[in-house]
Structure 1
């Protein structure tokens, strides 16, 4: 239900203008109802129907219908008077940069006052502008109404369906261009990515170091215990190493020594790699990786094979995006 917030109405210091808005809103609703009814009455079949079943009402209204333009002009006079008053106030208060901006910005108010045919229905836009202004000042809150909720839900559903179809069409076009050997792929690789190899290397180096510092250093002890446990299990399952225990006297000792040594070596190697990744010394390693993926432009068979593989990868990624776009999220909110 639509409610008027009286506290915000008083705090706005524009009560006079808002009261005029409410008055104009009521007059607009009456006027539009009058216009719609007169448009319906203009059909001969409706006039005959009223003459047959409600002859008194037809006799009373028919003279009004014949002079409808004059009754409508009374409303137009009120609307134009209010328009001129607001225009004068906007000039005095310097609401707009130029004095003549007001009629251009509020063109629907002016054109709706023309008492000709379908132009009268432009007065509906004035109703929306008044409601929006009242909502903007939090005098009313139409977003809590059932009508707004109903319209907003199906508007969002329509826009999602429309945007999904547009996005899928665009992605399908990109997919076809990539598969047909469009120069776009080469431009992205040679003109955009390749000149920025150093920037990509620096960025990836910083991100890898940050991820290693946050994920590895706090869990160094747990990772070492896990690695030693996994290596120990692997060595125990090794057939050749298990035969060492059958050696007389020194067999079990050699087996335990090898297990501990291998586990310690593996753990130390992994720790050293992660320590290097967590420090600034990882830049050369990351730079080598970037150079592998973004080599200097040159024509050779290996590069063509890599290009085909990358095109297939891009096509699969686009296909996955299209599948995700097909998901209708608005159905999850369907009552």
Structure 2
């Protein structure tokens, strides 16, 4: 049920306009209800039903139906009065950059006041605008109502279905263009990736150095101990090395010394690699890796098999994306 936040209503500096909003909301709902009822009453079968079943009501309402335009113009007069009051306030408060912007922005208020059957129902837009404005002021909370949750659920479901179909159509088109040898694939390679190899190298180099500095340097003591323990365990499980302990006198010493040396060498090698990655000296190493994955355009010429493999890879990636897009998340919220 829609609840009014009285605390925000009293704190608001727009109290007078909010009260007017509530009055206009009530009049609009009453007016729309009368329009709907009069449209139904216009059917001869309905009018005949009221005439036979409720003659008192028929005698009361029939003059209203005959002069419905007059009664509707009373509502229109009230709506137009409120419209011009708000327009004057907007001009005085300089809400818009130009004084004549207000009727263009609130065009539905004016069009809905035209007393013709086709345009009267545009007054529902005015109801929606007032409710939205009260919701923006935190006077009412539309999201707490069952009607909003019901409409919002099916709106989100509709938008997800629509967007999924559009995305699938676009991805299928991209796959078709890539398979048929579209120049887009070559343009991505030659015009986008190749000219930016230096930028990619610099960015990857910085990211690798940052990751090594933040991940390894503060924990290198624990990392070294872990590596030495793992190497020591691996060496003890090695059959050939375990035979050294059977050598007379020096066997156990040689085995222990070898285990310590190998563990120290492995730890030092890993330490040096990570130290290099954490410094600016990793740039050349990263550049070599980038050059392998992004070769010069001249080197790519003639390697149709590699291009075909890359095309198949992109197509498979797009297939995976399409599979994920087909997942209907809105169905998870169904009871």
Shorter-normalised TM-score: what interval?
Answer: over 0.9
Give the alignment of 1:29-108 within 5 angstroms.
29-108=29-108
What is the CA–CA distance in structure 2 between the aligned matches of 1:81 and 1:139, rounded to whole Å? 24
CA distance in 2, matches of 1:130, 1:157: 26
Offset from partner CA, 1:267-326 (integer Å, 9 cap, x none): 211111111111111011001111111111026577433322222222222222222222
Match of 1:184 in 2: 184
CA 1:305 to 1:233, structure 2 compared with 1: closer, same or farther past 3 Å? farther
Pairwise CA distance, 1:229: 2.9
What CA distance in whole angstroms lies between the structure 1 residues aligned with 2:185 and 2:237?
49
Q: In structure 2, how many angstroms separate the alpha carbons of the residues matched to 1:231 and 1:106? A: 77
**CA deviation map 1:179-216 (0-9, x unaligned):** 33222222112111111111111110111011111221
> More displaced, 290-299 or 195-204?
290-299
Task: Map 1:56-205; keep pairs closer than 5 Å.
Answer: 56-205=56-205
Unaligned runs of 5+ in 1: none
Distance 1:220 1:146 in 2: 58
Q: CA deviation at 1:38?
A: 0.5
Kindly state the Cα deviation for residue 41 of structure 1 after the two structures are TM-superposed.
Answer: 0.7
For residues 254-265 of structure 1, the aligned pairs below 5 Å read: 254-265=254-265
Alignment of 1:250-329 (within 5 A): 250-298=250-298, 303-329=303-329
Q: CA deviation at 1:80?
A: 1.5
* Alpha-carbon distance in structure 1 between the residues aligned to 2:264 and 2:299: 46
Instruction: Tell me, in whole angstroms, the C-alpha distance in 2 between the residues paired with 1:3 and 1:185.
Output: 57
Change (3 A) 1:13 1:225: closer
d(CA) in 2 for partners of 1:121, 1:243: 96
Q: Deviations over 1:50-99 (max 9, x none)?
A: 22322332232222211111111111111122222222222222222222
User: Which range moves more in the overlay, 35-44 or 141-150?
Assistant: 141-150
Distance in 2 separating the partners of 1:210 and 1:303: 36
TM-score normalised per structure 2: 0.92
Residues 232 and 14 (structure 1 numbering): CA distance in 2 closer, same or farther, change over 3 Å? closer
TM-score by length of 1: 0.92
My pick for the range that moved more, 131-140 or 300-309, is: 300-309
2:210 pairs with 1:210 = yes
Secondary structure of the equivalent of 1:298? helix
Paired residues, what number? 335
Distance 1:270 1:89 in 2: 74
The 2-side partners of 1:259 and 1:220 are apart by 20
After TM superposition, the structure 1 stretch with the greater mean CA deviation from structure 2, 68-77 or 140-149, is: 140-149
Deviation string 1:220-250 (CA, Å, 9 cap, x unpaired) is 2232233223333333444433443444443
Counterpart CA distance in 1 for 2:137 and 2:300 is 67
2:2 corresponds to 1:2:
yes
RMSD, matched Cα: 2.0
